[in-house]
A and B are shown apart, each in its own frame.
Chain A
Amino acid sequence: MSRAVSAVLEVSHATKSFPGVVALDDVTFEVRANEVVGLIGENGAGKSTLLKVLTGVYPLDEGEVLVNGESARLRGPRDAFDHGVAMVFQEQSVLITLSVAENIFLGREAEFTRGGVLLKAKMHAAARVELQKVRLDVDPATSCADLTFAQRQMVEIAKALSLDSRIDGDIVVLLDEPTSVLEAKEIELLFEIVRDLRDRAAFIFISHRLDEVLAVSDRVYVMRDGAIVGEMASADATTEKMHELMVGRALQHEYYRENRQGEPGEEIALSVSGLAAAGFTDVSLALRKGEILGIAGVVGSGREDLARALAGLAPISAGEVSVNGRPVRLTSPSDAVGAGIGYVPRERKVEGIVAGASVVENMTMASIDDFISLGIIRHGRERKVAQSWIDRLRIRTPSTETMVGSLSGGNQQKMVLSKWQIAGSSIMVLDHPTRGVDVGAKEDVYELIRDMTDQGLSIILLGDTLEELIGLSHKILVMRDGRITATFDAPVGAKPEQIELITHMV
């Protein structure tokens, strides 16, 4: 058949810009029938944007999307679905209050309706067929709330594959980081299913785990800074080669300012023993003054829960925390702030900044009491301090009164960091501090992190990438399933390899 070599789904010379960022830069990409294509790149490389273009969420500025060789204007996920493109979301979109069958055929109820009445038996029978494809042995009437995380992921995949029975041509299933919530055994099963199903569908497999991508794909695309920087058959690829393409630079030491990695002091700034909360248990660690302690782990490893517990945002069920030798109770964020712990959250727009408030208001938010005398906020003093930090961190903002929502991601992040420095925090919990920050501003953030440790601040770092984590940290803890599984020293010149960490992560 000639169709076997032609492209089912294609993007041709696609360009997409957002204010201040070129997210896709002349990208050409194709998926052939019955093919599994891997797509790799660091966070911010443009993978998500490309997916959103393929599912019709973003229109292109330039270039086009072709389905079965014909130019198609996809107007949204639903429209893409009707064109045979289905997405399995990274953050699961299964509605847990509905049954398995209802989820699989969500939005397609009309096919199982007669005279306005939903024929459940018919829907369940059809669902059973779909469930078989993904080898999920559950009753279609089961509520998704009763399924495990992995099972829900399979339901999601079954939902995508259900397109098969509706579309004449080939279907393409986009798997966005499908393995991040799965256990090793489940990942193996998923790969088997993908291999099984490739005579019915083509797959795009997105992951930042290079070995996984190589294991399951026929061909791999590497993205960096919005462009495709490499395309190769998996048989010819090695993880080293892909990694080099992905990162695009050999001199990573300079990038992370490793020359500025000093020797931490002897004093213990933060000590945690036997700490437990939802998501992790029995975590003990000691953070020295001026030290950057990196925590590695996949989604669900508990490292984010640990960060939130230290910030007072999640209730602690057991264990002790001391700051500078003094035990502290962290029952609320204000306790944490009072103890000198500052939290730079992963979701900057939700927990880091108040977009509708001014730069100065945001900067003094964690330390407003210092700017109040006789019950009155001293605007002048506030503005002076804010301006000095704007100058010091080179935050690009028209004035101290500008609404923070109008600043770029990098400048917002610098502002969040200055908020905690103004508050006099001695310990910073940085949860993905460079997420959504463009490349140039990332370096500023790294510089800033080094500045902070020079001043004797101590840092718990959850890096956006493993490379970043290794490059910045003095010491690295690896977490898996809510426990610390390994500890690595990471002095300059003797940094651990990513693969060493990964073996303890999964």
Chain B
Amino acid sequence: MPAKWKTELVRFIPLITLLGLVALVATIEPSFVRFSTLTVLVSDTMTLFLMASGATFVILMGGIDLSVQAVASMTSVVVAALLPELGVLAVPVAVAAGLIAGAAGGISHTLLRIPSFISTLAVSGVVTTAAFLFSNERSINISGETRDAHLAWMVGEFAGVQAEIWVGLILLLVLLFVQIWTPIGRFCRIIGAGEQAAIASGIRVDRIKVYAFMLSGATAGFAGVMMAARLGSGSPTLANEFLLPSIAAIIVGGTALTGGVGSVWRTFIGALIIAVVRIGMTFVGVSVFAQQIVFGLVLVLAVAVTIDRSKILIVK
């Protein structure tokens, strides 16, 4: 297959897949394509998108972040615990906690020259334990008043559409800006496409890498805040089931696991695909637990399609 044709195809497959899936579910359940149903679906998907959005940069760079679910759980606890005291300021604190966790993964990855999957896996363990200690191994409730007072902008409604969607769209725009207009965004992709040439050109590759992991940690932290706001509580295991779907969202969207090719908007589409598949399975009556099997399969398939085999001769 000509390389160019393939990249073009890979670029649009996710969008076509999404529309196809929506159409498929609609034939089974026509009410699915109603505006109100769709907005509920999209708003439900935003936590997943938030969690995967920053991690897209890490994968774009050819690395991986296995700590997003742990970071999100941790920040859900942080925001739930601090909200009564700090008010809305608890949100930046939680995001900063995520950013620090990301930095830890990134710095250990670059400084010690260990694979990112190990460094972030280790961070994931540390962060989970920290969250357990911080919360005394319990979930922390957010009272209705506190939530309405400080987090309504995130889980309320604006212009007849759920606030989550607005938050997600704003984040998408911000990250697209980072991706296209800032050196961090550009060099994440360039590092993924040819790290050695980037190094030889004098780019401070390690620094860019750490920034990418920090971004991933921050958006995962933000995702944790949104989860806590939606569910009205924070817990050290809140986001545990989200690792597989968030990586799947990135890859299904068409960002190659080998790095160098991809975009945040693809992750947006990828997250929606995951959501529609989930809904579709619920309609068909697949149990929540069995759904993980499907996500596993989807992930393997998506990686097989998007991976750039010319870049890796031997897969380990």
Contacts and interface: CB of A to CB of B under 8 A. Distances in A.
Contacts of B19: none
Contacts of A333: 199-202
B200 A311 contact: yes
Given A353-B194, A354-B197, A355-B193, A334 B183 contact: no
A157 interface: no
A353 B186 CA distance: 15
A354 B197 CA distance: 6
Contacts of B197: 350-354, 365
A337 B199 CA distance: 11
A304 interface: no
Interface in A261-287: none
Interface in A366-409: 366, 368, 372, 375-377, 379, 406
B270 to A, nearest CB: 20
B193 A366 contact: no
Contacts of B194: 350, 353-357
Interface of B: 4, 180-183, 186-187, 189-190, 192-194, 196-204, 260-261
Given A356-B193, A357-B189, A368-B183, A351 B200 contact: yes
Contact of A375 (B182, B186, B189): B182
Nearest to A312: B202
Contacts of A337: 201-202
A350 B196 contact: yes
Nearest to A403: B4
Contacts of A355: 193-194
Nearest to B256: A356
A313 interface: yes
Contacts of B186: 361, 368, 377
Interface string A341-352: 001010000111
A-B complex: 7 closest residue pairs judged by Cβ atoms: A337-B202, A356-B193, A354-B194, A334-B202, A351-B200, A365-B201, A366-B201
Nearest to A375: B182
A461 interface: no
Contacts of B4: 406
Nearest to A341: B202
Nearest to B195: A354
A334 B204 CA distance: 7
A361 B179 CA distance: 13
Interface string A311-324: 11100000000000
Interface of A: 311-313, 332-334, 336-338, 343, 345, 350-357, 361, 365-366, 368, 372, 375-377, 379, 406, 419, 423
A207 B204 CA distance: 40
Nearest to B185: A377
Given A313-B199, A361-B190, A377-B186, 14 more contacts: A311-B200, A332-B202, A332-B204, A333-B200, A334-B204, A337-B202, A350-B197, A356-B192, A365-B197, A366-B201, A366-B202, A377-B181, A406-B4, A419-B201
A372 B187 CA distance: 13
A88 B28 CA distance: 65
A423 B203 CA distance: 12
23 contacts: A311-B200, A332-B204, A334-B203, A343-B200, A350-B196, A350-B197, A351-B196, A351-B199, A351-B200, A352-B197, A355-B194, A356-B192, A357-B189, A357-B194, A361-B186, A365-B201, A368-B187, A375-B182, A376-B181, A377-B180, A377-B186, A419-B201, A423-B202
Nearest to A425: B202
A375 B196 CA distance: 25
Nearest to A339: B202
A41 to B, nearest CB: 29
A352 B193 CA distance: 12
Contacts of B203: 334, 365-366, 368
B113 to A, nearest CB: 15
Contact of A356 (B196, B199, B261): B261
Most chain B CB within a 10 A radius of its CB, from A352, A361, A365, A372 = A365
B214 to A, nearest CB: 16
Nearest to B206: A332
Contact of B200 (A345, A356, A368, A376): A345
Contacts of A343: 200
Contacts of A361: 186, 190
A313 B200 contact: yes
Given A313-B200, A351-B196, A406-B4, A357 B190 contact: yes
Contacts of B204: 332, 334
Given A357-B190, A357-B194, A352 B183 contact: no
A338 B202 contact: yes
Contact of B190 (A312, A334, A350, A354): A354
A351 B200 CA distance: 6
B193 A357 contact: yes
A6 B260 CA distance: 54
A348 to B, nearest CB: 9
Nearest to A419: B201
